[in-house]
């Protein structure tokens, strides 16, 4: 089954959680152990990415190690065209639609497209929208940050992603953000679009997950918490349990 089909089929039954791992912050073995712990408590997919300093070799080694321990789909969450690994199952073929730089809207994608074709991984077209404060990805991606109080802007960008034919919309507050994307913004975007909505950045507690899911997010992404906590299973278990009504 293709990864996008797996996402669509899973969303018919339940909300989803994806675990983001940054190969720059952990050894391949540590990353694989985090992925294994996350899989034991029900995460639905492993995303691999980071905003800075990643090499293809680090990504390849990390994905190989993860694949040796877990059966979940591994999806590349790319910072650019240089990180497209043949060992992954899929790639978020994404455009940072509210970037001021064409580099992140389309040029990296133009560089990556022939590589995607050559290595044969599944591209999943996704509109990526960076909301204040944006953190590293906002800065590196030269985002014209979506203001937290300008909900209509987020709705307009999300609709643009859908009308371009993108299969997913991702509302991103930035990794390590002090607060996740506001629930009112999530609610308004979800009401406007028909494609699944991913929300990530700054999600640390089950209470936040509940608010985000109640507002209409279909998929939540957490990264930082698995890097910081000792007991990934226990912490992530509570986060994932909060997805269910
Ligand atoms: C970043 O949305 C993801 O791209 C995850 O953010 O690291 O804050 O969980 P955190």
Question: pLDDT of 113-155, one tens digit each?
Answer: 999 999 999 999 999 999 999 999 999 999 999 999 999 999 9
CA of 140 to the centre of ligand 1 (A): 15
Structure tokens at 189: 């975007």
Average pLDDT over residues 74-94: 96
DSSP 3-state assignment of 237?
A: helix
Question: pLDDT of 19-49, one tens digit each?
Answer: 999 999 999 999 999 999 999 999 999 999 9
Question: pLDDT of 154-213, one tens digit each?
Answer: 999 999 999 999 999 999 999 999 999 999 999 999 999 999 999 999 999 999 999 999
CA of 230 to the centre of ligand 1 (A): 18
**pTM for this prediction:** 0.98
Check residue 245 and give its pLDDT.
86
Give the rounded percent of residues in the chain with a pLDDT score beyond 70. Answer: 100
CA triple 140-145-147, angle to 5 deg: 155
CB of 78 closer than 6 angstroms to any ligand 1 atom: no
Residue for token digits 């993860």?
66
Average pLDDT of the chain? 97
Smallest CA-to-CA distance from 138 within 216, 79, 225 is with: 79
Burial class (CB in 10 A: 0-12, 13-18, 19+), 230: exposed
Instruction: Please give the Cα distance from 207 to 80 (Å, whole number).
Output: 33
* pLDDT-based confidence at residue 54 (cuts at 50, 70, 90): confident
Check residue 197 and give its pLDDT.
99
The residues with which 75 forms a beta bridge, in sequence order, are 47, 90
Check residue 180 and give its pLDDT.
98
Average pLDDT over residues 91-108: 98
Check residue 230 and give its pLDDT.
87
Residue nearest to atom 1 of ligand 1 (CA): 175
Instruction: Please give the Cα distance from 220 to 214 (Å, whole number).
Output: 12
Query: Taking the CA atoms of the chain, what radius of gyration do you get in angstroms?
Result: 16
In the chain the domains, ranked by start, together with CATH numbers, are 3-128+201-241 (3.20.20.390)
Pairing of strands 219-222, 16-21: parallel
Ligand 1 atom at minimal distance to the Cα of residue 20: 5
Give the length of the chain: 245
- Using the predicted structure, report yes or no on whether residue 51 has a pLDDT greater than 80: no
Check residue 53 and give its pLDDT.
78
Q: Please name the helix (run of DSSP H) or strand (run of DSSP E) that holds residue 48, with its range, or none.
A: strand 45-48
Check residue 50 and give its pLDDT.
83
């Amino acid at each position: 089954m293709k990864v996008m089909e797996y996402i669509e089929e899973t969303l018919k039954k339940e909300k989803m959680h994806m675990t983001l791992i940054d190969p720059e912050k952990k050894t391949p073995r540590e990353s694989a152990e985090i992925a294994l712990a996350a899989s034991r408590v029900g995460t639905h997919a492993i995303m691999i990415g980071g905003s800075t300093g990643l090499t293809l070799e680090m990504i390849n080694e990390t994905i190989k190690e993860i694949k040796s321990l877990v059966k979940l789909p591994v999806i590349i969450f790319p910072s650019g065209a240089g990180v497209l690994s043949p060992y992954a199952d899929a790639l978020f073929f994404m455009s940072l639609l509210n970037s001021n730089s064409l580099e992140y809207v389309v040029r990296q994608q133009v560089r990556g497209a022939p590589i995607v074709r050559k290595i044969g991984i599944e591209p999943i077209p996704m509109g990526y929208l960076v909301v204040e404060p944006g953190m590293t990805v906002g800065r590196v991606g030269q985002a014209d940050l979506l203001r937290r109080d300008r909900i209509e802007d987020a709705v307009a960008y999300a609709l643009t992603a859908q009308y371009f034919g993108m299969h997913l919309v991702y509302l991103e507050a930035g990794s390590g953000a002090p607060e996740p994307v506001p629930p009112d913004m999530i609610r308004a975007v979800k009401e406007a679009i028909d494609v699944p909505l991913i929300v990530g950045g700054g999600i640390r507690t089950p209470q936040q997950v509940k608010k985000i899911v109640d507002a209409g997010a279909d998929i939540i992404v957490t990264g930082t918490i698995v890097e910081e906590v000792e007991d990934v299973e226990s912490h992530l278990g509570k986060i994932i349990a909060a997805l269910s009504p």
